[in-house]
């Protein structure tokens, strides 16, 4: 990409886009693993340990800032884990993710 924007603009743009790019990279990696035959599509979502922890803590009423303090990770990491869980559970909101994970007895 080229532009006449100053370096400070690009640094801020990069920081603002980081979460979306990490989410996209994770999704592309998952699809590549399935398409290459290295991983099969599961009958039900396979959530990571951190995704499950974040969902469980959200279900118990904690906010992202409280979760990050308990898990010793950043707020953006908590948001990324919750976004990944929503994607894997094919829901739009974190509340729906908690409800579906509970219904599937994942948490």
| Per-residue pLDDT tens digits for 22-46 | 777 777 887 787 788 887 666 667 8
* Residue 30 half-sphere exposure toward CB, CA atoms < 13 A: 16
Q: pLDDT at residue 101 above 80?
A: yes
As a residue count, the chain comes to 107
In the chain, the domains with their CATH numbers are 1-41 (no CATH), 45-107 (1.10.10.10)
What's this model's pTM, rounded to 2 decimal places? 0.65
- Residue 1: its pLDDT value, please? 60
Buried b / exposed e over 66-84, threshold 16 CB at 10 Å, is ebbeeeebeeebbbbbbbb
Decide which of 35 and 62 is more confident: 62
Which runs of consecutive H residues, i.e. helices, occur in the chain? 7-35, 49-59, 64-71, 75-88, 94-103
């Amino acid at each position: 990409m080229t532009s006449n924007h100053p370096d400070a603009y690009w640094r801020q743009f990069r920081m603002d886009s980081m979460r979306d790019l990490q989410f996209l990279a994770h999704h592309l990696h998952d699809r590549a693993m399935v398409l290459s035959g290295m991983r099969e599509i599961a009958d039900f979502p396979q959530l990571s340990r951190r995704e499950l922890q974040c969902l469980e803590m959200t279900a118990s009423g904690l906010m992202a800032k409280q979760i990050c303090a308990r898990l010793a990770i950043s707020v953006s990491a908590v948001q990324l884990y919750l976004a990944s869980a929503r994607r894997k559970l094919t829901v739009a909101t974190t509340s729906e993710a908690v409800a579906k994970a509970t219904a599937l007895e994942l948490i």
